[in-house]
Amino acid sequence: MIEKRALLTDLYQLTMAQAYLRSGIAGKEACFYIHFRENPFKGGYALSCGLEQIVEFVESYGFSDEDCEYVRSIEDATGHALFSDDFIDTLGGLRLSLDVDAAPEGSLIFAGEPVLRVMGPVMQCQLVETAILNIFNFQTLVATKASRICQVAKGPVAEFGLRRAQGPAGGLLASRAAYVGGCSSTSNVEAGKVFGLPVSGTHAHSWVMAHDSELEAFRSFAREFPTNSTLLVDTYNVAGGVKNAITVAREMEERGAELSAIRIDSGDLVWLSCMAREMLDDAGLDYVKIAASNDLDEYTIQSLNEQGAAIDMWGVGTKLATAWEQPALSGVYKLSATRNPGDDRWTAQLKISEQTAKTTLPGILAVRRYFDADGVYVGDMVYDEQLLPERDLIIDPNDELRRKDLSGFGYFSLLEPCVRGGRSVLPAKSVADIRNHALSDLARLHATNRRFLNPHTYPVGLDRALLDQRDALIRKARLID
């Protein structure tokens, strides 16, 4: 779906690539990293997603003859060809030799730390930037939204946002990301096929309206799907709908079948669900579940549960597939080191800005994640692999007086090899494996970091040597002694 799409890029990546080639530095080695400046949804974390598609994109990267002809057709402002024939010939024969390291998909990640690193010839690093950010930013955003929703749902969450998603491709990847984030199923049949996701669904109000009566509609659906019937009871009147569902459930019992659930899609979900639960229980149908939908998100679900709603399952669409309230993740891709071919040592690079948040970090960046005796994460150290940490001490890059001593805690390296020499070294994992990793990783985050309102800030800091290197380069760039 995303692989073999070398033109999924911004024009300036191609113009820079030609300039790199013409200036003779296309083969200069570079190190870029992705980080984001703020945790999404004003929360305490993000959940990494999209790595599988990134690796597929890098491994299959290449310009087809048709791609090259399109690039050849692009004109400059004077009507002449923008790109040279020798550059287009280079694109036609290009195969990537990049190395990629990243946090395993489904891992907790935090603002201010490198979560993916790309190393190799600078021209190649530049050409893949836009697509990698596109894949990472969107799926990470939706996976994070899903994890927030699933944390408070207290029951399975089905994703069914395809009809409101950002186009067919966006809908497909949103379904995948939502499953990674904790959803139990999707209504998106194509996502079920492509990614092996569990698919689920009920029926629409139109099914009921197409019959002469609601009872007839329910009977017909239950006969057709005796092991998979969830009846939508709010087409006309919820109390009447539940009464008809009870009638059908009793008829199903006589045939040795069971009604799975009823679904309520409108109205006061607390009052209606409690009423429905009482009616079902009084009819001896305590096994019949109640599903709810209707523009739900984590805040609405949390409120419904706090009010005592009798809801067992949830269907979430628009506000999940579109990552409601935050249109994009602030992930950026920044150059942090360069070296000439044949050199042993990298030269750290840094971009400074009048905005402190936009000043980048220099070096071959990596992350240590520390954890306590119970396995709970306690802090992340960002460091330069060429300047190995001498102490387990992290320092706030914006306030040197804020620091945390992590001595005595265990740690592991967050970034793991994914691509070497342009070829995948990523261990084979199903989407279910990735989802399980996400759920177990989230369980290792302290509850204060997971809460929605004013979450406690998870400690991410710099190693002393990296901080000193950054400050020295800032002084040099600003000509400060």
pLDDT averaged over 10-residue windows placed end to end, the chain, 481 residues:
84 98 96 97 98 97 97 97 97 97 98 98 98 98 98 96 95 98 98 98 97 98 97 98 98 97 97 98 98 96 98 98 95 97 94 82 98 98 96 95 97 98 96 98 98 96 97 89 58
Distances from the Cα of 310 to the Cαs of 55, 263, 307, in angstroms?
43, 12, 9
Residue 114 φ/ψ region, left for φ over 0, alpha for ψ in the -120 to 50 degree band, beta for the rest: beta
Take residue 53 and report the two structure tokens written for it: 């598609």
* Long-range contact set of residues 422-427: C-beta below 8 Å, sequence gap at least 24: 422/58, 422/59, 422/61, 422/95, 422/96, 422/97, 422/98, 422/120, 423/59, 424/55, 424/56, 424/58, 424/59, 426/51, 426/52, 426/55
What predicted TM-score, i.e. pTM, was given to this entire model? 0.96
User: What is the model's pLDDT at position 62?
Assistant: 97
Distances from the Cα of 356 to the Cαs of 128, 329, 349, 361, 399, in angstroms?
27, 19, 16, 11, 11
Domains and CATH numbers, the chain: 24-51+97-141+332-477 (3.20.140.10), 143-321 (3.20.20.70)
Q: How far apart are CA 269 and CA 172, in angstroms?
A: 29
Residue 380 φ/ψ region, left for φ over 0, alpha for ψ in the -120 to 50 degree band, beta for the rest: beta
Take residue 408 and report the two structure tokens written for it: 């005595």
What DSSP element (H or E) covers 358?
Answer: none
Taking the CB of residue 61, how many other CB atoms lie within 10 A of it? 20
Number of H helices, E strands in the chain: 17, 21
Helix-helix angle 167-180:431-442, to 10 degrees: 50
